[in-house]
Amino acid sequence: MINTEAEKEYERYQTEQLHIQAMKNAADKDSYPTRLSMMPESKKRRRIETLHYMRRYTLWSLTLLFFILSFLGWIWEVSLHLIASGVFTNRGILHGPWIPIYGAGGILILTLLNKLRQKPILEFISIVAVCGCVEYFTSVFLETMHHGQRWWDYSGYFLNIHGRVCAEGLLVFGIGGLAIVYVLAPFLDNMIQRLQPN
């Protein structure tokens, strides 16, 4: 349920391995040597280094992340609709400010694709695949449960599959998924870990 000292040690070990690999890449001239940067590396990385993205999330963190990501998905959907049509509309299928498909997609990305985090391009491709499957099958499920009512339709979009998913949407989900994996989820998990378990 909560992070043990062994899990924290795992995060520190993984971060150290990434740091060693970055130094090796600089020594092998595979990346820009940060020692030549105008700003000292220690100042640049002070906040970023607390975002250990090579981590395993506890059940407690995953539960809270589900609700947070569902709420952020609701904000995203409402904002897009508000900008496009100028009308405020609750875009969720439930009452309240959340859309569970965003929370479920985020949790699946964090749990199923954790071994790919050191390979961002492969992570991106996998995020697109997972989000595409989640969106497609959620559309089928909702249409079946609500007697043919379609909750979204991408029929006019480029590279759509039966109007249920499209290339543009999957690209946005891929970029958003990377932001969740490498920045948002570690940041939120750090905040969640500060909460008292009781």
For residues 62 and 108, what is the distance between their CA atoms, to the nearest angstrom?
10
Strand ranges inside 47-158, DSSP E: none
Nearest to 136 by CA among 156, 122, 148, 153: 153
pLDDT score, position 102 = 92
| Per-residue model confidence as pLDDT tens digits over 112-145 | 998 998 899 999 999 999 999 999 998 899 888 8
Structure tokens at 56: 């395993």
Q: Where are the domains of the chain?
A: 55-193
pLDDT score, position 194 = 84
For residues 112 and 116, what is the distance between their CA atoms, to the nearest angstrom?
9
- This prediction has a pTM of 0.78
| Per-residue model confidence as pLDDT tens digits over 77-121 | 889 888 988 888 877 767 778 889 999 999 999 999 989 988 999
pLDDT score, position 28 = 76
Strand ranges inside the chain, DSSP E: none
| Per-residue model confidence as pLDDT tens digits over 150-190 | 878 888 888 888 888 999 989 999 999 999 999 999 999 98
| Per-residue model confidence as pLDDT tens digits over 11-56 | 778 778 777 877 787 777 776 666 666 665 555 555 555 677 888 8
Q: Give the count of alpha carbons within 13 A of 56, CB side only.
A: 14
For residues 62 and 70, what is the distance between their CA atoms, to the nearest angstrom?
12
How many Cβ atoms sit within 10 Å of the Cβ of residue 51?
16
Find how far residue 36's CA is from the centre of its chain.
32
pLDDT score, position 109 = 95
Nearest to 106 by CA among 195, 11, 177: 177
